[in-house]
Amino acid sequence: MTGSLWRLLARALTSPSGRLGTFVLALLTLFVIAGPWLLPDPAGMPDLLAGATPPGGWHLFGTDQLNRDILSRVVSGGRISLSVAGLAVTLAVTLGALVGGLAGFHGGWLDGVLMRVVDGALAIPRLFLLLLLVAVWEQIPLGALVLVLGATGWFATSRIVRGEVLRLREAEFVLAATALGAGPGRIILRHLLPNVAGPLLVAATLGVGDVILLEAGLSYLGVGVRPPTPSWGGMILDARPLLTTAPWASIFPGLAIVITVLAVNLIGDALRGALDPRNA
C-alpha cells in the first residue's frame, strides 16, 4: 500500500502546480513551526493606547487594535488552523473509510440503513450541522472543535469507499483470499482498503482546504476558536470594526487563509490527476 502511495505522490509532483502547492505548503509549515520562536510574542503587551499601526518597519504586517504584531499572530494562528484541520480530516477520513468499507463489504440491510443516513446527512449543508453542534458550548474547547469538524466530514468519503469496495468485492483476488481462509476483517484491511488509499488521499487533501475555511468561518462568527487563542478567522472578526481605519488587520489573516487553501487545493488536484489512469 505505501509503495503505491509513494508512486502517487511522486507522479503528483511532476506537475508544476503540484510542485508549487507542495513548496508553498512546506514553506508555510516551516514558518508555522519555527515562527513563534523567531517572532515577537503575539499575545504580549497589548497596548490599547498605541492602537493599530500600518505595515512597516518592525511590523511587516502592521499591528492590530491592541498593538499586537499581526505577522506573529498570523503565524500562531496558523499553528492552530493547520493542526485543527489536519486532525479533523484524519478523523473524518478514518470514519468514512470504516463506515464505507463496512457498508460496501457487508451489503444488505446494513448498507441500506447506513447509506440512507449518509444521504440525509449530505442533504444538510455541513456548516449548519456545525452550527447546531457548536451552539451547545459557551466556549468550545479545541478538542471538541476538532471532533465536531471530523464528525461532520466523513459522509462523502464513505460513499467513495463504499463504491470502491463494492467494485472490488467481487474481484478475483478477494475470492482467492477468502478461499485461503481470510476473514472479512483481514480482507477489508489488507486487500480492499489499500486500493482505496489513492482516492482517500485526494479526498483528505481537498478536505483540509474545506476544514480550514469552515474553521475560519466559525471563528469569524465567534463560535469556533475563541480568544485568547489566535486564529485567522478570529483575527478577521476582531478587525471588523477597524475596517475603515486599519484594513490591513483584516487583509493579512485572510491572505494567509487564501494561500494555505490554494496550496492544499493545488496538491489535491495534482494528486487527483496522478490517480487518473489516463495519465499513467
Give the residues lining the site for other proteins (CB under 8 A).
Answer: 116-117, 119-121, 123-129, 131-136, 209, 213, 216-217, 220-223, 233, 236, 240, 243-244, 247, 250-251, 253-254, 257-259, 261-262, 265-266
Min CB(200)–other proteins separation in Å: 20
| Cβ distance to other proteins smaller for residue 82 or 193 | 82
- 138 in Cβ contact with 105 (< 8 Å): no
* C-alpha 52, offset from chain centre: 31
Min CB(266)–other proteins separation in Å: 7
Min CB(100)–other proteins separation in Å: 18
* Sign of the alpha-carbon dihedral angle for 77, 265, 239, 58: positive
* Contacts with 10 (C-beta within 8 Å, 6 or more apart), sequence order: none
Q: How many CB atoms lie within 10 A of CB 60?
A: 14
Q: Which residue's C-alpha cell is 459522509?
A: 155
| Cβ distance to other proteins smaller for residue 174 or 213 | 213
| Cβ distance to other proteins smaller for residue 116 or 190 | 116
| Cβ distance to other proteins smaller for residue 176 or 258 | 258
Min CB(269)–other proteins separation in Å: 8
| Cβ distance to other proteins smaller for residue 63 or 152 | 152
Residue type, 187: I
Min CB(77)–other proteins separation in Å: 13
E-only strand ranges, the chain: none
**Cell (9 digits) for 92:** 473524518
Phi-psi domain of 205 (left: phi exceeds 0; alpha: psi -120 through 50; beta: other): alpha
- 20 in Cβ contact with 266 (< 8 Å): yes
Helix (H, G, I), strand (E, B) or coil at 64: coil
Min CB(94)–other proteins separation in Å: 21
| Cβ distance to other proteins smaller for residue 63 or 250 | 250
